[in-house]
Amino acid sequence: MSAVSVQSHFPLQALNTFGMDVFADAYAAIHSPADLMTLRADPTWAAQPVLVLGAGSNLLLTGNVGGLVLHMRTTGKEVVGEDHSSIYVRAAAGEDWHTFVLWTLEAGYAGLENLSLIPGTVGAAPVQNIGAYGVELQERFHALRALDWTTGEIKTFDHSSCRFSYRDSFFRRARGRFIIMDVVFALPKRWQNNLSYPDVEQAWRAQGAPPLTPLLVSRIIADIRRRKLPDPAVAGNAGSFFKNPSVSRARFEALRADYPDMPGYIQADGYYRLAAGWLIEQCGWKGKTVGDVGVWETQALVLVNRGKACGQDIARVSLMIQEAVNEKFGVWLEPEPVFV
């Protein structure tokens, strides 16, 4: 029998990396699938809208949260199978992402090393199809199980039903309906390193180009991330605040004619991905502070809480940046964190 309890007026400040000082009307820590099913079986809670909370590292909480906050604290990770090409590994939604990545690497399974040190939980990783240093989660994803809060059914989603795209999936669009319970990854038996990002290759060469292993790539990437990104414990943030926008080839060529240094990367669909950080920097926002909201000095994509900023303050500065970039380049930036 599950002993899950629901607490009212629960403080969320320590549970979101922006450090927003807000409360949940109702909060439950979920330690097992049985905890979830117990709450879903109670008509009072089943009728409530839910916010699923992982580590709160991709959320902008703009006020107190109504309905029921389900905080995923489930743990467990295991190898569940293999075939000629892959090892299949399953992890519970509440597992810390980086701890899970290290566990796979230390067990000798490669494939997740470029996604090292991304904050958050395993269950949130498919929601925005996390990506870093040339690899996206969808390249290592096999399947997941999720509870449909509207029907109480547990469903299995394969790769195609997740509808992954750049920092997006079906779950991001169906927010509050599905609670991801566990995720199965397919890790390739034959390892191919990915040093496609110049920073990574340079850091490896600077170490004297030692023999490459997945653990070494993980360490190099973790070091770069520690240097480049603010630690949320020191300056509240949610990582990149804006997605890199995509424009047509004609639009990119027109922009390049005006701004010859503008970076742009061609995608499989023929569109060009622009660097949002570069666009923001060109508008003079890098290192700027408005009230208690700052744009990080070494990475213009990151907005930080320099003290007592509230979610509305961050949303206001985000809008000012969107307007500045739109005015100069005619490109509208889309935020990456989920606004609640």
Binding site residues, ligand FAD, CB under 6 A: 17, 51-59, 72, 93, 118-121, 123-125, 127-128, 130-132, 171, 175, 178-180, 229, 232, 237-239, 338
CB closer to ligand FAD, 157 vs 285: 157
CB 120, min distance to ligand FAD, A: 2
Is there a catalytic annotation at residue 167?
yes
Choose the catalytic residue: 167, 169, 225, 318. 167
Q: How far apart are alpha carbons 314 and 105 in whole angstroms?
A: 37
Choose the catalytic residue: 32, 169, 240, 318. 240
Is there a catalytic annotation at residue 172?
no
Which tokens hold the place of 19?
């450090």
CB closer to ligand FAD, 56 vs 264: 56
- Residue 234 makes CB contacts below 8 A (sequence gap 6+) with none
Q: How far apart are alpha carbons 214 and 36 in whole angstroms?
A: 36
- H helices, E strands: number in the chain: 10, 20
Q: Give the CA dihedral 8, 95, 146, 156, nearest 10 degrees.
A: -170
| Cβ atoms of 240 and 336 closer than 8 Å | yes
Is there a catalytic annotation at residue 32?
no
CB 16, min distance to ligand FAD, A: 7
Which burial class, exposed, middle or buried, applies to 67 when counting CB atoms under 10 A from its CB (0-12, 13-18, 19+)?
middle
CB 269, min distance to ligand FAD, A: 20
CB closer to ligand FAD, 101 vs 255: 101
Which tokens hold the place of 12?
């969320």
Longest CA pairwise span in the chain (Å): 66
CB closer to ligand FAD, 141 vs 178: 178
- Which residues are known to be catalytic? 167, 240, 336
